Amino acid sequence: MRNGESVASSQFSPLGAVGPDRLPLEVVDLLKLALRRGATDVLLAVDRPPSFRVSATLTPAEELPPPGPDAIVLVAHTLLGEGGIAELERHRDRDFAFEVTGLARFRGSFYYQRGGLALALRVLPASIPSLDELGLPSVVAQLASLSRGLILVTGPTGSGKSTALAAIIDLINVTHAKHIVTIEDPVEFVHADKLSRVEQREVGRDTPSFSRALRSVVRQSPDVVLVGEMRDVETIQTVLSLAETGHLTLATLHTSSCANTIHRIIDVFAEDRQAQIRAQLALSLEAVLSLALLPRIGGGLALATEVMMGTAAIRAMIRDGRAHQIYGAIQAGQQASMRTMNHSLAALVKRRHVTLEDAEARSPDVKELRQLLSP
């Protein structure tokens, strides 16, 4: 394979810099085609045609030749370097991010399937979109002005969590003089210093783990801490403590609703600790945003957002173990800028941004959604 455009991989060169290695032209051509088609994801596996995900629909690119085993191995060595390859061979998967100069930035994951190497790529926006461009509700801009507390952004894989967090961090960066420390795996969006000073730590390169980075972050004088994912009990506990002790803390969880997020956080702890965790969470929680991306009529994706604010009523429900009442409180909390996923979906259908069929497929309660849409 021939070599082509310069790439910067977060595994072997400074973020935003152009690395010395070069990506095979066949892969660059593939990525260019994906971008022309508006793909959000690219899937590669040995001896199978590449696939593109466009407007949430996965289709094979039959006109492109299937990559051979040597091709994907070469791409892995180009993008990961020796250290990344060693980790890939040890764990059988490896997440990373890289940039093709003049083209785009990508998040990637190498993994093994059927004994061969495969690659999944997510196309990242060329620039960090604004909250308005993403379609996030206006209350999110107010959250960016908080000086302490916990903001959680949740949703399934591919729901836009990382992009939403990047937009919030960018808003803080341009409007406040803060020290922002992010802990990510991998770093997806590169933040240049504006009014704020932004330092981005990548798990596997700048720190061995989320938990290790979180243990030391309080000694780095942060005002704002972003945690790419709360993966274990220790990370969740440290995030709660950070938010409780005067830091604005943002984090993600793979949960499908605001109420489920509260259940997930509490349930990972042993029963004898849950009362303490409920108290900590009730004290520090400022908001939960639960995201979903749907195919937009005419192409692209539309964002639906459930919003739960840390009102006195919500805090009391969390503290007293009444999380089952949270959904009803969100339904009744529109004056406090709260809204359910169904309210967001109904608004998208009424504006003809998404089809009723797609909205119903994402709805937690189809009967309620239809009631919201009835004349």
Q: Does the pLDDT at position 147 exceed 50?
A: yes
pLDDT-derived band at 14 (thresholds 50, 70, 90) equals very low
Quote the pLDDT of residue 332: 94
Picking from 188, 226, 231, 186, the residue whose alpha carbon sits closest to that of residue 211 is 231
pLDDT of residue 125: 85
Residue pLDDT, tens place only, 267-293: 999 999 999 999 999 999 999 999 999
Is residue 190 within 8 A of residue 16, CB to CB? The reply is yes
* pLDDT of res. 20: 29
Class of 3-124 in CATH: alpha beta
Helix, strand or coil, per DSSP, at residue 60: strand
pTM score of the predicted model: 0.86
Domain 131-373 has CATH 3.40.50.300: yes
Axis crossing angle, helix 312-319 with helix 274-284, rounded to the nearest 10: 170
Given a cut of 50, is residue 18 above it in pLDDT? no
* Cβ pair 221, 179 in contact under 8 A: yes
Share of the chain above pLDDT 70, in %: 93
pLDDT digits (tens, 9 = 90+) for 321-339: 999 999 999 999 988 899 9
CA distance 150 to 148: 7
Alpha-carbon gap, residue 290 to 152, rounded angstroms = 8
| Separation of alpha carbons 30 and 50, rounded Å | 9
**Parts of the chain belonging to CATH 3.30.450.90:** 3-124
The pLDDT value given to residue 23: 65
Residues of the chain with CATH 3.40.50.300: 131-373
Res. 173: pLDDT tops 80: yes
The average pLDDT across 201-229 equals: 93
> What tokens appear for 155 in the block?
């949703």
Q: Are 131 and 171 in contact (CB under 8 A)?
A: yes
